Structure 1
Amino acid sequence: MKLFCGDRVLDLSAPHVMGILNATPDSFSDGGQFNSIESGLQHAMQMVSDGASIIDVGGESTRPGSTPVSLQQELDRVVPLVEKIAQRLDVCISVDSSSPEVFLEAHKAGAHLINDVRALQKAGALQAAKQTGLPVCLMHMQGQPETMQLKPEYHQVLDEVYDFLVSRIQACNDAGIETNQILVDPGFGFGKSLEDNYQLLAKLAHFKQLGVPVLAGLSRKSMIAGVLDNAPVDQRLYGSVAGAVIAAMNGAQILRVHDVKETSDALRVVKATQTHL
């Protein structure tokens, strides 16, 4: 399976590492560390050196309880950083956004992929994504970031997440976005209980039936802390790597992570194993 990202092609026959670059002051794990162009570029360079083939640039925190930012704030955080990375690094650049204007400006700046936690449901998002011609990642989220973890509730979480993604793939097709330009993400930690998250992880292979690549992002999240005696963010490395390995062995082709070197090493072992399955 190959993913065509503008002038780049990602071979998805083996899992890829997507390095997280939060250009925000309030992200749950690394807020404020990389919210200048120079520090963001340096971190992107390190992640590429450590094995990331995709850098995911975001300018709006979507952690539980977060508050929305203005469009101008998001543009100011994301677009110059995308442009700088595109000029300096040979890497696929993803933009973590739900805003049509950010899609369009980031594409002009050199982005190759749209990663939208709201699955292109904002007004104008489908049309803007189609206009860029870039592949899109559709994520499931119950509610909105500011309230999503207050009381998430499902009858059958696997079926409900799956059906939502089916409906969003259809919405993309109706807007002129081909299925071969779509990825899906079940949305670990986005309006999910601890039990919901681990049910989705255990059954992640089910989403392969959608016929599109699967992205999994569980790095350092509360679902890791929840089985590690509520370990703080800086003590979730081994649990996060374990989660990435489980996701990859269950069909995830892209792993969105903070700890790139450690995850890349683990996925090399996964790749070596998968060649014998």
Structure 2
Amino acid sequence: MEMQEQTAGWGERWPAPAKLNLMLRITGRRPDGYHLLQTVFQIIDLCDWITFYPAENGRVYLRNPIPGVPEHEDLTVRAANLLKQYAGCSSGVCIDVEKNLPMGGGLGGGSSDAATALVVLNRLWNLHLPLEKLMELGLQLGADVPVFVYGYTAWGEGVGEELKPITIPEQWVVVIKPDCHVNTKQIFLAEELTRDSKSITMRDFIAGDCRNDCLPVVSKLYKSVSDALDALSQYAEARLTGTGACVFAQFNSEQSAREAFSGLSQNWSVYLARGLNVSPLYEKLEHGSV
């Protein structure tokens, strides 16, 4: 207990950032039904914040459990318990989550919370597991967890778990969260979903090929997503992140992004953010601040 309290990082706020899928192509389907895809994940500086406190008797629990949600189902608790089990760790932790990211919007909030728990507790508990093992553990919790553990803007292939670093401009972003939750399974089961897109290269994407094969299906099935795309397109090219529900647009200047944010805020749930090539979680790990 005393050693834990002396370790830097206990009682500090750690970021769990959101992500955007800047493009999404479905290039095939595996025999098990999973879709093969190409995508680009970019971290944005919109974050949940998580604080970890040493706990007695090896307990893992939330400081403020979400009403109606069993504590053992919370992704941060599951991540901590998975890490404890794999490493044979006897330490405990009290987890305090400050939620800022919208639920069910495709920004990866729950997955990012789990990734931050894995990465930070690996350090606080002095486990020294390599990044690859943390990503492997993260995949057991959800398909998006590995990219947050990875912590860099990434080119993704396979079912999204094959990651390579890619450096792109860190543009300003305006995100709209429509008042709906898109059923991802429904989108991937839709008959009209394109499943045979030609694979492209990073160079193709950088040159402007940023199609999302899910967009036509989601827009057809969810009017509020279609309306959000129309509203945002008055300011810049509006795109869907993953299967949504969130839509976003990139801007070359803070001023133009703030103008769009201001104009849309009266009628929509809107977020202003900045695209990043390095997760603020790793900025804090390396430099002690974000």
Tell whether the structures are fold-level matches, with TM greater than 0.5: no
* Structure with the higher helix share, 1 or 2: 1
TM-score normalised by structure 2 residue count: 0.23
* TM-score normalised according to structure 1 size: 0.24
Whose radius of gyration is greater, 1 or 2? 2
Higher relative contact order (CA 8 A, sep 6+): 2
Q: Between Structure 1 and Structure 2, which shows a larger proportion of strand residues?
A: 2
